[in-house]
Amino acid sequence: MAKPFPGVTPKVSPEALALGQHAWAPRVVVADDDPRCRAALQRSLTHLGFRVVPAEDGYAALQTIRRHGADALLTDLIMPHMDGPELLLRVSLVAPWVRCVAMTGAAPSEPRLISARERGALETLRKPFSLEQLETVLWRALRRPSAP
């Protein structure tokens, strides 16, 4: 069954959002070693209608994608064990259909964001960012055509 990616945010009941009962919604793996940031992103994306799977580092994110699949990956660039650039490279090899978005709050951010794009990030975000920016960037990445 094809997953629709409508041009507008899906409107579903808060109860359905809380339970993740909208199976057609894009599945997003969120990789961030900061538990508060990860929880905030999970709440925000769930509120926007996405199915969210949190991961505390690159290894956990990669295992989730390998085992359960994903439509998108939202990853911090600086994490212990496996950083964002390494995660992006590995995801591009094992699951090239996953749309990747990189984020960082570290200064200087520009070289890191360029490196992320070279390793497979379709979009990038500088922390802090608004919920509107997050939604726009994630949908833009999800709508990009697959590489041949």
pLDDT in tens, 2-14: 344 434 344 444 5
What average pLDDT score do residues 106-129 get?
87
Q: What is the DSSP string of the chain?
A: -PPP--SS-----HHHHHHT--TTSPEEEEE-S-HHHHHHHHHHHHHTT-EEEEESSHHHHHHHHHHH--SEEEEES--SSS-HHHHHHHHHHH-TTSEEEEEE--SS-HHHHHHHHHTTEEEEEESS--HHHHHHHHHHHHHSPPP-
pTM of the shown model: 0.82
* Domain-embedded: residue 127: yes
Distance of alpha carbon 73 from alpha carbon 121, whole angstroms: 9
**For residue 70, pLDDT beyond 50:** yes
* Domain-embedded: residue 6: no
What average pLDDT score do residues 51-74 get?
96
Q: What is the pLDDT of residue 65?
A: 97
Q: What is the pLDDT of residue 22?
A: 55
**For residue 72, pLDDT beyond 90:** yes
* Domain-embedded: residue 128: yes
Q: Which residues contact 62 (CB under 8 A, 6 or more apart)?
A: 82, 87, 90, 91, 94
* Residue-range definition of the domain harbouring residue 92: 24-143
The CATH number of the domain holding residue 131 is: 3.40.50.2300
* Domain-embedded: residue 64: yes
| Number of domains within the chain | 1
| Torsions phi, psi for 100 (to 5 deg) | -110, 135
